[in-house]
Amino acid sequence: MSNFIRLIQNENMKLYSKKATWVMIGILAIIVLAVGLILRFMDDNNLKEYGDDWREELQVENASVQNDNGDYTEASYRVNIEKNKYHLENDIKPQSYGAMQFVYDNIGLAMLISLFTIIVAAGILANEFQWGTIKLLLIRPVTRLKILASKYVAVLIYALTLLVFLVVFSWIVGALLFGINGLNPSAVMYDINGYKQVSLLPEIIEGFGYRMVNLVMMATFAFMISAVFRNTSMAIGIAIFLMLAGNTIIPFVSQYSWAKYILFANTDLSQYQSGGHPLLDGMSLSFSISVLLVYYVIFIVASWLSFTKRDIAGQ
Amino acid sequence: MTKPAMQLTDLNKTIGKKQIIKDLSFSIYPGEVFGFLGPNGAGKTTTIRMMVGLMKITSGEVLIQGKSIRTNFKEAIKEVGAIVENPEMYPFMSGWKNLVHYARMIPGISEDRIKEVIRLVGLEKVIKEKVGRYSLGMRQRLGIAQALLHNPSILILDEPTNGLDPSGIKEIRHYIRKLAEEENVAVIVSSHLLAEMELMCDRIGIIKNGELISINEVDEESDQQEMQEVHLVAEPLENAKEIIESEQDIEVRVDKDMLIFSVNRAQIPAIIKRLATEEVDIFYVQAHRTNLEDKFMALIGENAIE
Ligand SMILES: Nc1ncnc2c1ncn2[C@@H]1O[C@H](COP(=O)(O)OP(=O)(O)OP(=O)(O)O)[C@@H](O)[C@H]1O
Ligand SMILES: [Mg+2]
């Protein structure tokens, strides 16, 4: 076991010795900072603070955009009438914007983490072949399976590191720009059944959780391509192309019954959230999880077979 | 005889339909430097890849200290340090980190051992620099350093002097000899240069088209009765030719300004003395061991990479 930990240590050392790895972390940091600054200084509506007379303020807002029954003014795009009504009807004071809200708003950046993880997963094996270092790596008293596993685990650790970084850095930037508004503030959010009040922390965990499913699947896919073709750019290219194009092809093939077996139809598990509508007929949460598991096992076995059974020959 | 450190029996490798290695068998013993000589494409690297388990063996066996590389990979490979083809390292890490990386993969390598190996190959000054900035010779040394980290009993070096300058070659040669003689390491060195091999090997195996053609001992003190081919440049050439032919009753060939003839090694001094007393100016004399040289040249001569 200590043996395995040393292998992971090695993978991390190689990973963090490369500039590209730090560039990815830097890009993530810059984007979080930029989003925060734009929100703080360009868009004042989100950040509106309501006083003790918040009920009147909301009524005024709603009235201001809808004075001539149904005839919206140009201010309407900034005011969410339905949301305001929900606040008024349920007597919930709108919360002011704070660090946790900012973290929540940055869940979408998990897409970027997926992208970076794919790049790392695509390179971690194929690079060794392209650098020629694979020969020196495999003439040690360590089985190929262990080396493969240490690389895969290193990819997952990298993804987790980026995720933790995104959350913590977003929170810090949020705290500095908007202040801290409790650790688990509530918020009024929209889902398929209309508005409702929710706690932010579970929402954040859930949001990232759904995106992790997609991340792990795509990273494992890139890892497999990298093991099979031993070529970094090819693995990055195919995986990113499929990640971006995968979802868009579903509508075109949705009339076929096999469409629901496509990986990308199943990677977004949030489609089964309460009241949600599955992407295609015949799909359910357990169906999607089974499909994902089958794909996952195929990816892992393919990586394992092509890495452990094939010759390490010249290029 | 002592137990072989490494033993190859009836080794075969077929890739696709092409048989690259054919029934290769030989043994390497502790304390000897074994030269693996052959023209480009002969199959040296392929054989080495099978020895260290990078390529699967189509048929046959490789035993390392009695342990099969096929069925007992972990135990067998512990005995081996190797460079396969170019010593590729991680260019974006320092030499030190590269060594730490390999040291972590084998239990029981202390930091002191890493430093010792660095001193041994003379890389102290640049070890903290990125390998990407190393010269080829420095990378070659780092390659040897990683192969020695765990005190292997067998060292396999695929063209270790490739890219080294003459002083570097001399140093490596010296170092390889020392490892064999003082630490009883069995060293396998591949090359396509006979002259270089003769200087550092105890035995030389010649391989061509995947087949072992012969194994020859390289003796320091050559047999006095051994026939040697002598190359001699002298002035005037015709005089020299006549003198040698009359003295030894042998045939002398003229190749441009050079005389070429074969005699017993013991007779060479007498010929030179005679030429000197006959007022012939001698500019150059070189005696080749006909045996190995001929075999290798015969082999290289019809060299066609198939
Ligand atoms: N992966 C491969 N697939 C097919 N043929 C191969 C493969 N690897 C090597 N060969 C062939 O095997 C033969 C031996 O190659 P090898 O690299 O072992 O030669 P070598 O003796 O090391 O030559 P060099 O002195 O040039 O390094 C060559 O004819 C080569 O074309
Ligand atoms: Mg070679």
Predicted confidence at residue A42, as pLDDT, reads 77
Do B12 and B74 lie in a common domain? Answer: yes
- pLDDT bin (cut points 50, 70, 90) of residue B302 is low
Confidence of residue A57 (pLDDT cuts 50, 70, 90): confident
| pLDDT recorded at residue A74 | 53
CB atoms near residue B246 (< 10 Å) = 10
Is residue B281 included in any domain, yes or no? yes
Short-list A270, A256, A165, A153, CA closest to A213 = A270
pLDDT at B305: 45
* Residue A261 included in any domain: yes
Does residue B304 lie in a domain region?
no
Minimum-distance CB partner of A141 among B74, B92, B100: B74
Asked, for residue B140, whether it belongs to a domain, the answer is yes
Residue that is last in its domain, among B105, B135, B150: B150
Q: In angstroms, rounded to a whole number, what is the distance separating the alpha carbons of residues A298 and A243?
A: 18
B121 shares its domain with B13: no
Q: Which residues contact A204 (CB under 8 A, 6 or more apart)?
A: A100, A103, A104, A107, A167
Please name every residue paired with B259 in a beta bridge, in sequence order, or none if there are none: B232, B254
Write out pLDDT tens, residues B261-282: 888 888 888 888 888 888 889 8
- Residue B301 is assigned to a structural domain of this protein: no
Domain that holds residue B198: 6-79+152-217
Same domain, B234 and B181: no
Q: Could you tell me if B10 and B21 lie in one domain?
A: yes
Own/partner long-range contacts of A105-109 (Cβ < 8 Å, ≥24 apart): A105/A35, A105/A39, A106/A32, A106/A35, A106/A166, A106/A170, A107/A204, A107/A207, A107/A208, A107/A211, A109/A28, A109/A31, A109/A32, A109/A166, A109/A170
- B120-143 pLDDT, tens digit per residue, is 888 999 999 999 999 988 999 999
The whole-angstrom separation of Cα B82 and Cα B73 is: 15
Give the pLDDT confidence of A233-274 residue by residue, as tens digits. Answer: 988 999 888 888 887 888 888 888 888 888 888 888 888 876
Q: Which helix (H) or strand (E) is B260 found in, with range?
A: strand B258-264
Buried b (16+ CB within 10 A) or exposed e, B210-231: bebbeebebeeeeeeeeebbbe
Whether residue A102 lies inside any domain: the answer is yes
Three-state DSSP string of A110-147: HHHHHHHHHHHHHHHHHHHHHHCCHHHHCCCCCCHHHH
Domain with A296 in it? 2-49+96-309
Q: Answer yes or no: do B145 and B160 share one domain.
A: no
B68 with B159, same domain?
yes
* CA distances (Å), origin B20, targets A15, A251, B23, B51: 37, 52, 10, 14
Which residue numbers of A have CB closer than 8 Å to B's CBs? 3, 6-7, 9-10, 13-14, 17-19, 131-133, 135-143, 311-314
CATH of the domain at B253: 3.30.70.260
Compute the Cα dihedral for B2, B199, B50, B300 and give only its sign.
Answer: negative
Whether residue B299 is contained in a domain is answered as: no
Residues of A in contact with B56 (CB under 8 A): 311
Domain annotation covers residue B222: no
Residue to substitute from A131, A139, A307, A312, interface B, most B β-carbons within 10 A: A139
Tell me the average pLDDT of chain A: 85
Q: Which atom of ligand 1 is nearest to the CA of B42?
A: 21
Task: Work out the angle at residue A242's Cα, subtended by the Cα atoms of residues A240 and A246, and round it to the nearest 5 degrees.
Answer: 135
Which of B49, B41, B47, B85 is CA-nearest to residue B300? B41
- How remote is the C-alpha of B109 from its chain's centroid? 28
Phi first, then psi, for residue A122 (nearest 5°) are -70, -30
Cα A209 to Cα A112, A213, A268, B154: the distances in Å are: 15, 7, 10, 51
Residue A48 has pLDDT above 70, yes or no: no
Does the pLDDT value for residue A99 go beyond 50? Answer: yes
Helix (H) or strand (E) holding A168: helix A144-178
User: Which amino acid is located at A274 in the chain?
Assistant: S
| Structure-derived torsion over alpha carbons of residues B140, B145, B147, B152, reported in degrees to the nearest 10 | 140
B86 min Cα distance to partner chain A (Å): 8
Instruction: Verify that B57 and B188 share a domain, yes or no.
Output: yes
Per-residue pLDDT tens digits for B60-84: 999 999 999 999 999 999 999 999 9
The answer to whether residues B167 and B201 belong to one domain is: yes
Give a yes or no: residue A66 inside a domain: no
Q: How far away is chain A from the Cα of B284, in angstroms, using its nearest Cα?
A: 44
How do beta strands B67-68 and B59-64 pair?
Answer: antiparallel
Looking at the partner chain, which of A9, A131, A142 has a beta carbon nearest the beta carbon of B90? A131
Closest to B78 (Cβ–Cβ): which among A132, A141, A314? Answer: A141
Q: Considering the domain boundaries, does residue B192 fall inside one?
A: yes
Residues B33 and B169 in one domain: yes
Q: What is the CATH number of the domain that holds B41?
A: 3.40.50.300
Do B99 and B146 lie in one domain? The reply is: yes
Of the given ranges (A54-63, B44-53, B197-206), which has the lowest mean pLDDT?
A: A54-63
Res A275 pLDDT > 80:
no
pLDDT score recorded for residue B21: 94
Three-class SS state of A285? helix
Please indicate, yes or no, if residue B30 is contained in any of the structural domains: yes
**Structural domain total, chain B:** 3
| Total domains present in chain A | 1
Question: Do both B144 and B236 map to the same domain?
Answer: no
pTM: 0.86
Give domain status of residue A59, yes or no: no
Kindly state whether residues B196 and B248 are assigned to the same domain.
no
What is the pLDDT, as a whole number, of residue A283? 84
The 8-class DSSP code of residue A289 comes to: H
Q: pLDDT class for A170, splitting at 50, 70, 90?
A: very high
